[in-house]
């Protein structure tokens, strides 16, 4: 069974990542781009673009990849593949290539390069255990295992003039 998750970009320091009724403190992006729904087209520092993402196993590259991942604790991370017609580790937003989105706990540097980063390791560990305990599911029409989906949406103040008449977003999931 796939787990259904949501992550709402709200323009605040922290946003909420939710799965099956459990709420976690999370963030995506850095600086003025942190949880900013208009920053999906900003490489590296921008927040994760809105859309649906499949939660899949993170691949490790190169001969030393698995060792380096273990040292940096990246061996527990998940990859997020956007549902955009090409199931892979990249997407394009307004002609800008974005990719390598991950679901992981906050690391020592406390940054997010567009990943969904859970603030507390304990919340990530609980989520990871929950995802791994689910029965096997596959991305439709593929042989790629998925643990679930994350719907990334936006929540904005409709009184803010930036979001009126042609601005970004909606007051619910975009």
At 136 the pLDDT is 86
Q: What is the pLDDT of residues 148-163, one digit of tens each?
A: 999 999 986 655 555 4
Four-residue CA torsion sign, 100, 12, 26, 87: negative
CA atoms of 54 and 61, how far apart (whole Å): 20
Q: What is the pLDDT of residues 92-127, one digit of tens each?
A: 999 999 999 999 999 988 989 999 999 999 999 999
CA atoms of 99 and 90, how far apart (whole Å): 4
Q: Are 56 and 37 in contact (CB under 8 A)?
A: no
Token pair recorded at residue 89: 């580790």
Quote the pTM value. Answer: 0.82
- Burial state string for 105-128 with b = 16 or more CB within 10 A and e = fewer than 16: bbeeeebbbbbbbbbeeebbeebb
Q: Which residues pair with 27 in a beta bridge?
A: 117
Backbone angles phi, psi at 129, to 5 degrees: -60, -40
At 27 the pLDDT is 98
At 99 the pLDDT is 92
**Helix, strand or coil for residue 96?**
strand
Residues of the chain scoring pLDDT < 70: 58-74, 156-174
Domain annotation for the chain: domains and CATH numbers:
3-163 (2.40.440)
């Amino acid at each position: 069974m796939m787990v259904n998750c949501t992550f709402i970009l709200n323009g605040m320091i922290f946003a909420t990542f939710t799965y099956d009724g459990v709420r976690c403190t999370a963030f995506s992006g850095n600086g003025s781009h942190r949880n900013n729904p208009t920053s999906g087209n900003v490489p590296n520092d921008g927040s994760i673009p809105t859309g649906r993402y499949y939660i899949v196993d993170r691949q490790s590259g190169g001969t030393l990849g698995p060792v380096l991942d273990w040292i940096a604790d990246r061996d527990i991370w998940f990859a997020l593949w956007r549902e955009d017609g090409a199931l892979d580790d990249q997407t394009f937003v307004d002609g800008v290539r974005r990719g390598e989105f991950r679901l992981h706990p906050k690391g020592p540097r406390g940054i997010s390069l567009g990943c969904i980063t859970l603030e507390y390791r304990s919340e990530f560990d609980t989520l990871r255990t929950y995802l791994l305990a689910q029965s096997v599911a596959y991305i439709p029409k593929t042989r790629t295992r998925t643990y679930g989906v994350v719907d990334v949406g936006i929540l904005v103040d409709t009184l803010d003039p930036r979001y009126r008449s042609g601005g970004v977003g909606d007051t619910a999931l975009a």
